[in-house]
Amino acid sequence: MLFSESFLSRPRRELSPGAYWVPDWLSAEEQRWIVARFHEWGAGPVPPRAAKIGDHEMSVQSLCLGWHWRPYEYSREATDVNGNRVLDFPDWMVRLGRKAIFAATQDQAAAERYTPDAALVNYYGTDAKMGMHQDRDEHLGDHVVSLSIGDTCKFRFGNTQHRNQPYEDIALASGDLFVFGGPARLAFHGVTKILPGTAPEDCGLGAGRINITMRVTGLSD
Ligand SMILES: O=C(O)CCC(=O)C(=O)O
Ligand SMILES: [Fe+2]
């Protein structure tokens, strides 16, 4: 719609100290470009897979860049998939991560310092979810940068103590940026629902949802 007022209802917001939501951060063109990269990564050395937590298969399909994540550690090789080394972390994604930190925090020094070295790329089909968890396999406390493309999801962002209330449910839509760090770095969070058919036509993804989280592992070879 021309001159839509939607930005008024979805302003940039700090949910709790250190947790920032920036709606409509990626343009449609940027989203389509990232979706094209997503398809290339999927044809790469390590195919997307549902990670196993004990005997339980997660409902999201995920692949990794830079470092491979499996519950609950990082390695260069995807030892629980096919043993291949994962793709390098792309330079453009470091630049995008820095832009994201600035957009969220307005802290130029923090943005310039930010050097993510691992990304988890998750694909959610319409029935996929992600249970409440902390991102705690990184050895440094740098921010996590999260990008969403495709169908809107219900994202639950909670507290650092446990999975239960208090938490807040927000609708993360295609193009939205979410950043958490500082006092919110170890907050429990999860995806409770995908809202099928909500992906905008011009985002490049017909169905389902892609989420990319960039992280700083603190690891070296
Ligand atoms: O899909 C999301 O928005 C969250 C993903 C997430 O929490 C994770 O990959 O650790
Ligand atoms: Fe997470």
Give the C-alpha distances (Å, rounded to integers) separating 156 from 8, 76, 128, 209: 22, 30, 14, 16
Does residue 1 have a pLDDT over 80?
A: no
Q: What is the pLDDT of residue 109?
A: 98
Q: What is the pLDDT of residue 7?
A: 64
- What is the pLDDT of the chain when averaged over all its residues? 96
In this prediction the ipTM stands at 0.99
64/68 Cα distance (integer angstroms): 5
> Is 0.90 topped by the overall pTM?
yes
Fold classified for 14-215: Jelly Rolls (2.60.120)
Non-local CB neighbours of 208 within 8 Å, separated by 6+ positions: 123, 124, 125, 126, 128, 150, 151, 194, 199
Ligand 1 centroid–CA 3 distance in Å is 32
Atom in ligand 1 nearest the alpha carbon of residue 155: 3
Atom 8, ligand 1: residue with shortest CA distance: 213
Q: Which residue out of 49, 130, 148, 188 has the highest number of ligand 1 atoms within 8 Å of its CB and is therefore the one to mutate?
A: 130
Does residue 6 have a pLDDT over 80?
A: no
Residue positions counted in the chain: 221
Q: Decide whether any atom of ligand 1 lies within 6 Å of the 61 Cβ.
A: no
Q: Where are the domains of the chain?
A: 14-215
Atom in ligand 1 nearest the alpha carbon of residue 60: 1
Q: Which pLDDT tens digit goes with each residue over 13-58?
A: 999 999 999 999 999 999 999 999 999 999 999 999 999 999 999 9
The per-residue b/e assignment along 30-49, b for 16 or more CB within 10 angstroms, e otherwise, is bbeebbeebeebeeeebebb
| 2 pLDDT tier (thresholds 50, 70, 90) | confident
Atom 1, ligand 1: residue with shortest CA distance: 211
Q: Decide whether any atom of ligand 1 lies within 6 Å of the 120 Cβ.
A: yes
Ligand 2 centroid–CA 190 distance in Å is 7
Q: Which pLDDT tens digit goes with each residue over 65-90?
A: 999 999 999 999 999 999 999 999 99
